[in-house]
Structure 1
Amino acid sequence: MLNQPKVFLINLDKSTERLKKSSGRLAAQNIQFERIPAIDGTKLTNTEIQAHYSSQLNSKQYYRNLGYGEIGCFLSHRLAWQKIVEQKLPYAIVLEDDFQLAGDLSAVFSTIESLKFDWQLLKLAAYQNRTRPIKATKQVNEQFDLVLHKKPLTGCCAQAITYHAAKQLLSITEQFGCPVDTQIQRTWQTGVSVYSLMPFMIEQDGKVGSEITAACQNQVIKKHFFRRKYQQLADGINHYKQTKIALSELI
């Protein structure tokens, strides 16, 4: 494929079947990729967890403590961002191994190359293929629109991330206290703008269960109802303000 961007695939060592499916799906469109061995949060020592996961930040940033799977997921995405920075890539595609292809990725790649503004992070799939309220759309070509959601989509199944965004995200998450997709949503904290390129040519494979959920099944996770409501309110206000700024950049 001409001008294929670097594609990274996050995959746990034990998830050999997922790797086989992912490899086959990408090979069907002649797409090469580099595998990133995902971090299994259940295998981390307390020292390894505390090197990046902060319980103090968690109490401020999120309504409950994170599960081992969520911590491992965050650290795995940090590995992908490090690869982008270390390899000095203009941008790269980062995939989790529960994706499936719904269209021609070469069209996605060529469209990204054609973008005429200083984008930083593009969502290329929706969490569990859900729809979310849209603030504005801008047509890029006959096939794709650049979409600004009222709140950036959750999930990290498929994203395009620039060098600048990867470097910024690494810096801001040296210590973290919330899930990786929640952190990416909070653009007022990261300074990294988030748009979606739609319609999505990548989807989450609904037949594949969540390894994050599985990793948390044997872990007691404390939930706090009022803290959750407060954080939802605070985030809602910040999302509203930040969307107005992102809208001006899109127009």
Structure 2
Amino acid sequence: MPEKASPTHKSEEPARLDLNATELTMQILVINLDRSPERLAHFTAEANRVGVQFDRISAVDGRELSEAEVQEQTDPAFEFKPLNRAEFGLFVSHRLAWQRLLESSEKNAAIFEDDVLLADNLAAVFSAIDALDQEFDVIKLETTFRSIVLNKEGLPLCEDTRLHPLLTWHGGTAGYVVSRRGAQRLLERKQRVSDPIDQVLFNPMSRVSQDLSVLQVVPAVCVQNDILARVHGRGSDFGSTIQQRRRWGQIFRYGPATDLRRLWTKVKERRRRKHLANVAGNQDVVVGYQGLKNESNTCQ
């Protein structure tokens, strides 16, 4: 699929917001479909509110691609689940963002999907990440309010915000920071798309993630709008445009061989998670969201 079909942003849209923002060296990118201007307006309002500037990546719409374009970049040997068109487009969109970082002079890039809510301390967290001496590949900024396992040994960022090694699957790619090293490694390892982007980045059982240094911000500094609405009754549910929502009732839908393979992978994943939760120095937690002021976070 030629890159020229996926421009980075439309000429009629401003590439950057005119803000009196905290001075940041980090590149900030938002992935947004051309057919979703209302979601770009939402993200623009959030960015203005917390005082950060961003560039737009024109998302690849998997529904508009030909079968030949999809097959050209797809590896059928998946690890977790077969890709649908929306998930393929989402993965390729994130890959464009990694490429954008490497084409720039910045050392890190924060990559967002357009339906996120941003915490007030986001700029301070970005400044702290840019100042880190410790090397990393990916830092997950969001939470899904699901139980995960982290290493208790945290690295302080700013105020009550810390970084912890992510040890188990934590879905979603609505907000994360990737370093130049991480972007280079991801582009080298994922020239063809085989699995959903969040499984590749944030499932330590993934062949790609196993070779990466992946950290989790605690408390999280962004959350998907629909997740906050569903779990805490706040925000509004945009629905999903790039990635089709997964439902438990759809687990068995690919045929016996593929469904059994997926089920066995889930069993191994749960066994691994249970084991890691009982290892000294680790902790089973639900990562809170900084935007919920009264919420407690257990990794201190």
TM-score (norm 2): 0.71
Please point out which of 226, 232, 237 is paired with 2:260.
Answer: 226
Question: Conserved in 2, the CA contact under 8 Å of 1:148 and 1:195?
Answer: yes
Q: Residue in 1 aligned with 2:244?
A: 213
**Which amino acid is the alignment partner of residue 244 of structure 2?**
T
Please point out which of 167, 186, 189 is paired with 1:150.
Answer: 167
- Per the TM alignment, residue 120 of structure 1 is displaced from its structure 2 partner at its CA by 1.3
Question: Conserved in 1, the CA contact under 8 Å of 2:109 and 2:177?
Answer: yes
**Which amino acid is the alignment partner of residue 68 of structure 2?**
T
Question: What secondary structure, in the 3-state scheme, does the structure 2 residue paired with 1:27 have?
Answer: helix
Correspondence 1:1-251 to 2 at 5 A: 1-55=22-76, 57-58=77-78, 61-63=79-81, 65-127=82-144, 129-140=145-156, 141-187=158-204, 189-190=207-208, 191-206=211-226, 207-211=237-241, 212-213=243-244, 222=254, 224-233=258-267
**Which amino acid is the alignment partner of residue 19 of structure 1?**
L
Q: Separation in 2 of the partners of 1:169 and 1:236?
A: 26
Aligned identity (percent) is: 27
1:175-202 deviations in whole A, cap 9, x for unaligned?
Answer: 1211011111355622222111111121
1:95-137 deviations in whole A, cap 9, x for unaligned?
Answer: 000101132212211221232311111000023x434233324
Q: Separation in 2 of the partners of 1:166 and 1:7?
A: 14
**Which amino acid is the alignment partner of residue 228 of structure 1?**
R
Question: What secondary structure, in the 3-state scheme, does the structure 1 residue paired with 2:136 have?
Answer: coil
- Matched pairs, number: 235
Q: Separation in 2 of the partners of 1:91 and 1:123?
A: 13
**Which amino acid is the alignment partner of residue 226 of structure 1?**
L
Farther off after superposition, 37-46 or 96-105: 96-105
| Distance change >3 Å, CA 23–CA 209, structure 1 → 2 | same
**Which amino acid is the alignment partner of residue 34 of structure 2?**
D
Whichever of the two has the greater Rg, that structure is: 2
Question: Conserved in 1, the CA contact under 8 Å of 2:169 and 2:199?
Answer: no
- Per the TM alignment, residue 159 of structure 1 is displaced from its structure 2 partner at its CA by 0.3
| Distance change >3 Å, CA 170–CA 237, structure 1 → 2 | farther
Farther off after superposition, 113-122 or 231-240: 231-240
- Per the TM alignment, residue 86 of structure 1 is displaced from its structure 2 partner at its CA by 1.5
Question: Conserved in 1, the CA contact under 8 Å of 2:108 and 2:177?
Answer: yes
1:49-86 deviations in whole A, cap 9, x for unaligned?
Answer: 0121122x12xx124x2111101111110111110111
1:126-179 deviations in whole A, cap 9, x for unaligned?
Answer: 23x434233324141432111223314211010000011011101111112110
Question: Conserved in 1, the CA contact under 8 Å of 2:137 and 2:181?
Answer: yes
Question: Conserved in 2, the CA contact under 8 Å of 1:36 and 1:80?
Answer: yes
**Which amino acid is the alignment partner of residue 187 of structure 2?**
L
Question: Conserved in 1, the CA contact under 8 Å of 2:26 and 2:130?
Answer: no
Q: Separation in 1 of the partners of 2:96 and 2:195?
A: 17
Bigger RCO of structures 1 and 2 (CA < 8 A, at least 6 apart):
1
Farther off after superposition, 186-195 or 16-25: 186-195
Question: What secondary structure, in the 3-state scheme, does the structure 1 residue paired with 2:223 have?
Answer: strand
Question: Conserved in 2, the CA contact under 8 Å of 1:29 and 1:104?
Answer: yes
Question: Conserved in 1, the CA contact under 8 Å of 2:24 and 2:123?
Answer: no
**Which amino acid is the alignment partner of residue 80 of structure 2?**
Y
Structure 1 unaligned residues grouped into runs of 5+: 216-220
Farther off after superposition, 5-14 or 44-53: 44-53
Question: Conserved in 2, the CA contact under 8 Å of 1:103 and 1:202?
Answer: no
| Distance change >3 Å, CA 202–CA 185, structure 1 → 2 | closer
Question: Conserved in 2, the CA contact under 8 Å of 1:6 and 1:93?
Answer: yes
How big is the alpha-carbon RMSD for the aligned residues of Structure 1 and Structure 2? Answer: 2.7
Q: Separation in 2 of the partners of 1:176 and 1:208?
A: 26
